[in-house]
Amino acid sequence: MTEMTFEEKLTQVKTILDGIESGKLPLEEAVQQYEKGIGILNGLDRELSDMKRRITVAQENAAGEMTETPLEAE
């Protein structure tokens, strides 16, 4: 099975949220969907943190040289 993309996971969370907000789900199923959505969101948060660590910012120092600084150091 192919890993879902970040965007596909966001769409899945939106679908879950729409289902819960519709008020048509039995309580137990709504709770299960909520838990599933929270699990997906936690995974997305980890993905974002990993991506942020990988991003570097190019800056010119006082000597006119280009340096790279991890984004989190900003």
37: its two tokens: 């959505």
pLDDT score recorded for residue 55 = 81
Q: Quick check: 73 pLDDT over 80?
A: no
Backbone angles phi, psi at 25, to 5 degrees: -85, 140
Contact of 6 with 44, CB cutoff 8 Å: yes
Which amino acid would we find at residue 60?
Answer: E
Q: What is the pLDDT of residues 6-51, one digit of tens each?
A: 999 999 999 999 999 999 999 999 999 999 999 999 999 999 988 8
The burial class, CB within 10 Å (0-12 / 13-18 / 19+), for 19 is middle
Nearest alpha carbon to residue 34 among 59, 22, 16, 52: 16
Q: What is the pTM assigned to this prediction?
A: 0.72
